[in-house]
Structure 1
């Protein structure tokens, strides 16, 4: 088997050298082959496969490629049929360049591996004082049959049909239920943290109400006083009575969830005294923005998030 493969590669190498030498010999000063692109695979070609060759010719004026002598589409040669031919030309200082694409289809019915070839083509060059031609050499390849020799009845070589193995989906279903539950809980958590609506459970606390009311306030002196009033009302509601700055220790004892905001709450009471009883140092717009941020954090504390 190893010797057979070695002989095959040697033969293919000889084919390539022979093709290159023949192409070079067909060149003339007036017309020459610039490049030849053969199919990338020269083995394991089967019936119905399409093989493409691309040739680039350069012809110097006054010569030109004869269109009448081109190979005809549908021509069959030794089980190889020319299924398509297309030509594109461009002009340059050197002359006219022709890009020729040839598509061949294999129709061999051989039952054993054999060597076939794309046929040699001859391109006539006319228009000058003498008749010229450019020869494209044949290109050899190994044909591989679809079925071995001697197979007469397909039924005898058919495999018994069988049902595909069923996959247990219970484990995947359980995982899907778990992941869907986590997704729903996560979405509810996001809604719970960020929503301002009062129709959700535990969403209608004192600071939640104050935060909603503060959103509608104007950014002026009247609005800042009303914002301070809303927050004080919320503190009073949670404390069970009027809450003053000197009573904050008792408030934190009753509401330990708010201890983490102790500094901000103490700063709020000090700021409230400055706005209500002395000259303030902030603009109304900035003060209301700060109170909105504080009310949001107090609301989250109230919800336990």
Structure 2
């Protein structure tokens, strides 16, 4: 139980996807917390500010329900503070946000942010102003430089673009971990078992950056065990079952019951687009080829 008045080293940002740049901020927050006998914290918002401000939905790399856990797991911080991004927060002057919220309410003794982060009314708070304000208040401040890979700045925007183009390896390179979809296994339409390939079924969270419909080499993590899988994302055009997209991994060499279980589906490599087949025999041949390619992928990975 974290004491209400505990002092905190706070990493400031939205942290969608917890990529390599985010991890650099949080690693520093953990370090500063240890140095100052403080709690390592992330301060973020319950909705993406750009979505609220522009009215245009920003597709997310991690689902809203999963983001807090993802930040704690990958960032190693003690706590995640979710603030409600409403009109009051949107219109708050940057200095008031630092003085009254981060320091006054959450007792920040150190604030860490990225060199491109802007906050407060109309984004008027910037790293230079934050640094000066922290000095005035007598607390620590770190401005973390952008992390770049092959000359490209690591950013959630760039990673979303890679996911949208099914470049799963490039997305993983910049995230520092595979792109994953997480959800509770539901009863599906039982299509897979009718053709000899049982699948587990997840809904595709509507707020997420959806990868292109198609078939992916994947890894399913269930009950803390990882399994090789072939995952179809799409709407079953061969069977004409409607337009509601779902995520359906066929787990290789597995015969357990995962209904009602929380699982994670890591998408590792794009195999082919979803396509409509003329008959189920043609579909079964394609799935058999998908499975062979998936086994070859993992065999090559472990050479």
TM-score by length of 2: 0.18
Pair member with larger Rg: 1
RCO (CA 8 Å, sep 6+): is it higher in 1 or 2?
2
Greater share of residues in strand: 2
